[in-house]
Structure 1
Amino acid sequence: MAILAAATLGVTGCSLLTRPGTQKTITLAQAEQRANSYAQQISQALPGRPGLVPNAGGVIPTECGDPNDNGPQGRSSAGGGFFLEPLSQDRIPEVFTSFRGYLTKRGFKVLTDQSDFLVMTNPKDGFRVGLQEGGDATVKGLGLIVSSPCVWPNGTPPSK
């Protein structure tokens, strides 16, 4: 599932909860907690209730070195990936359908919709979640990716 690690970069989005760089945000610790909470809630809502196996450490903080929201430097995001296990390969289409339905009911909007990769965002808090199929011709699996928007580490922009 090397694809999962590369896809994590495509899911992470540095967009503030308010105007870029001028307002308070949630803290980085709160962003990590919310990202983990989203992952847990989603996995429990999927068919078969697969477990979460962290990929490269699970949810970890990352500096927003080149924010795509035109906001200032010094912010970070919390994001990471998980393998969904155990999961029968024949249930993968059902899991994609359930993933979309569960998040749509909670106000998430589709950002990317491909046959093997679905990314949705919560417009209320800027968090993004993705589901990606990976593997080879004989073994396929699913990865869940969660990321926060860029936030100030302590929730407050630095004083000028």
Structure 2
Amino acid sequence: MNGTIHRIAALVVASMLSGCGIGTAGETDMNETITQDRAAEKVREHIERTLTALPDEAELETRRGTLFASCDDATDGGPGDRVTVSETFWIRGLPVEDNEAGIERMYEYWTANGYRVLRDERPDSLSLTVEHEEDSFRVGVRTSDKGSLSISASSPCVWPEGTPGG
């Protein structure tokens, strides 16, 4: 049963991370956005900055490469033909028994650096999702059934080339 709860939590986090956001609070973006390539860079920047909250032993291991997903069914009510960019890594080099402390350190980093908490499943599940208040990028951390930590980040919906139809 515990494995089922973790799988459900993982699906919730994944759907939250891959959901398309809006560029500016309350606006549907028909204007320029950053490009999908710049969004991929910013996804990585959010993850790398978060990693600074952890001990030096923490390292990233690719879990899956950069994903570009369609925003044709965008939840922000905006136009289709946009994409969201996401990436997920394993966090290696930390003992499993330090997962709670590691997630707490990330939480402290996020809340001190302009992120708002979207979902905090602790203590039942070591899963936490935040959104940066300035650029709407989302970052989440969770543990696998075997105790491995993973971190994901995703962009809001962007035009692939930065402009509609571009």
Per the TM superposition, whether the score is higher than 0.5 is yes
Give the aligned partner of residue 47 of structure 2: 39
RMSD of aligned residue pairs (Cα, Å): 2.1
Give the aligned partner of residue 83 of structure 1: 90
Indicate whether 1:61 and 2:68 are aligned.
yes
Q: Tell me how far apart the structure 2 counterparts of residues 68 and 56 of structure 1 sit (CA, whole Å).
A: 24
Gaps of 5+ in 2: 1-5
Q: TM-score, normalised by structure 1?
A: 0.87
Give the aligned partner of residue 23 of structure 2: 17
Q: 2:162 aligns with which of 141, 152, 155?
A: 155
* Identity, % of aligned positions: 29
CA contact (8 A) 1:27 1:153 kept: yes
Question: What amino acid does structure 2 have at the position aligned with 1:135?
Answer: D
Q: CA deviation at 1:45?
A: 2.2
Summarize deviations over 1:116-153 as a string: whole Å, max 9, x none: 110000121010000101123xxx11110100000011
Question: What amino acid does structure 2 have at the position aligned with 1:108?
Answer: Y
Give the aligned partner of residue 123 of structure 1: 133
Indicate whether 1:50 and 2:58 are aligned.
yes
SS at match of 2:149: strand
Q: CA deviation at 1:49?
A: 4.3
Summarize deviations over 1:3-52 as a string: whole Å, max 9, x none: 59744333223112132232211111110000011111212321344111
Summarize deviations over 1:54-108 as a string: whole Å, max 9, x none: 1122x32111131010111100011021100022011111111100110111110
SS at match of 1:112: strand
